[in-house]
Structure 1
Amino acid sequence: MKRILLTTFAIVGMTTGLQAQMSFGLRTAANFAKEVRYSSYGSSAYPAITRLHVEAYVELALRNNFALQPGVALQQTGSKMSTGSQNGEILMDGWRKVQYLEVPLNLMYYFPQNNFGQFFLAGGPYTSVAISGKEKFSRTVEEIQFGTRKNSNEMKKYDAGLNFLAGFKLTNGFSVHGGYGLGLLDIKLDDKISTYNRVFSIGLGYQL
């Protein structure tokens, strides 16, 4: 968490070169989300589950092709989960789905523009708070409890990490992008297993 905050302050510090130009944009994407787990026995990851990302942002132009892009997003994460085995094969008919309200802060870099548009790279920290969640085991669907007790059936309410983004923005304002979210906080209340969010996304955007 300390590193994330320091990164945030460093990015905000770059706004000393802020220009007057400001624009607004929307971004939506298909998330391919999964959870990775670490324990004394090693690491593992369940298969990804398809989820949704919707974001509104403000872009503040900086010098030398840089821009600062704070936003607010609905970020859906989760993972498929095993519910047992049959004939030696693991059954994957369970899942976990969590909705977060996420606040990302991306530092953008735009490459020189051509006749069609320009490529861009971006990265920065995010913080998020869980607003709802469900788990399915076999035929049973349950609401996820978010709390602070050391109970393996509960999840932590907050997450934080780093986002990475790359794409191409057309001259008419539309864009296509791919992204990766790297969760850095353990999201499960379990002393024996640490669990982290991992999200790969592909989507479209429009900037006014």
Structure 2
Amino acid sequence: MTKRVFLFFFLFTVTTVSLKAQVLYGVRVAGGFAYQQVKSSIVRSTGSSVKTFNVYGFAQISLVDEFWLSTALGIANKGSVVYDDALTTTTHLTYFDMPVSVLRKFTFSNTGVFFVGAGGYLSMGWKGRLNYETPGSYTTDIIKYGKENDVKKFDTGLYFSTGFELRNRLVFNVGYSMGLNNIASLSQQDSGTSVVKNRIFSVGLGYLIK
């Protein structure tokens, strides 16, 4: 099902770009923090967030009036820190990420364009690691994606953004991704962790190439 959604997003974007509409292209980098909603019978504390760094290429396609379709493709980092007595487990997940949203733009003639947007995202797991730390030890494991392994491969959810496009083509962006898909693998669920959902808050700087 998730693969079909990814294919739909891709085909929809390609089809829209091929239409006779105004198209803007750009790149952006973003930093922030990621954490996870965790429901577990074995974890005493859900822990805290991890720092993230994300990079995207994006396109904006005019729809009607001041509404635009925004789509991007890039790399996003997700994860969390979980505390369980003396053991601290830090999860670092790296995804190929594709957010798609509809923007409403408001033009200010002297400054630029303010925008707000809402939509969804689809992510596919690329790589990751688990860091285990105790007062006397530190070890690392490589994450394997898949429902039978460490973490499910695909993640989907909602995406919200706001920001400002300046006259000099610089773009300031604030984004929030709220995962809806439970990425806990079958092995995690069998061991007592029933739900894991990703969350990301980020602040980014971009540049409109065209």
Q: Any stretches of 5+ residues in structure 2 without a counterpart? A: none
Map Cα deviations across residues 15-70 of structure 1 (whole Å, 9 max, x no partner): 6xx652111111111030001112579x9742111011111011111211111112
Contact kept, 8 Å, 1:179 with 1:201, in 2: the verdict is yes
Contact kept, 8 Å, 1:26 with 1:205, in 2: the verdict is yes
How far apart, in 1, do the equivalents of 2:20 and 2:90 lie?
46
Q: Which residue number corresponds to residue 166 of structure 2?
A: 170
Amino acid at match of 1:173: R
How far apart, in 2, do the equivalents of 1:164 and 1:44 lie?
28
How far apart, in 2, do the equivalents of 1:61 and 1:113 lie?
18
Q: Which residue number corresponds to residue 157 of structure 1?
A: 153
Identity of aligned residues (%): 31
Q: Which residue number corresponds to residue 113 of structure 2?
A: 118
Q: Which residue number corresponds to residue 28 of structure 1?
A: 29
Contact kept, 8 Å, 2:45 with 2:82, in 1: the verdict is no
How far apart, in 1, do the equivalents of 2:84 and 2:125 lie?
24
Q: Which residue number corresponds to residue 127 of structure 1?
A: 122
Q: Identify the match of residue 101 of structure 1 among 93, 96, 99.
A: 96
How far apart, in 1, do the equivalents of 2:153 and 2:105 lie?
35
Q: Which residue number corresponds to residue 208 of structure 2?
A: 207
Map Cα deviations across residues 104-139 of structure 1 (whole Å, 9 max, x no partner): 112111012230112100121111110000010010
Pairs within 5 Å for 1:41-190: 45-85=46-86, 92=88, 94-138=89-133, 139-149=138-148, 154-189=150-185, 190=188
How far apart, in 2, do the equivalents of 1:148 and 1:32 lie?
25
Contact kept, 8 Å, 1:144 with 1:155, in 2: the verdict is yes
Contact kept, 8 Å, 1:31 with 1:76, in 2: the verdict is no
How far apart, in 2, do the equivalents of 1:207 and 1:177 lie?
12
Contact kept, 8 Å, 1:37 with 1:44, in 2: the verdict is no
RMSD, aligned CA? 2.7
TM-score, scaled to structure 2? 0.81
Contact kept, 8 Å, 2:46 with 2:83, in 1: the verdict is no
How far apart, in 2, do the equivalents of 1:173 and 1:45 lie?
40
Contact kept, 8 Å, 2:45 with 2:83, in 1: the verdict is no
Amino acid at match of 1:117: G
Amino acid at match of 2:140: V
Tell me: CA distance 1:104–1:123, structure 2 relative to 1, closer, same or farther (3 Å).
same
Contact kept, 8 Å, 2:91 with 2:131, in 1: the verdict is yes
Tell me: CA distance 1:44–1:137, structure 2 relative to 1, closer, same or farther (3 Å).
closer
Residues paired across the two proteins, number: 191
Amino acid at match of 1:71: A
TM-score, scaled to structure 1? 0.82
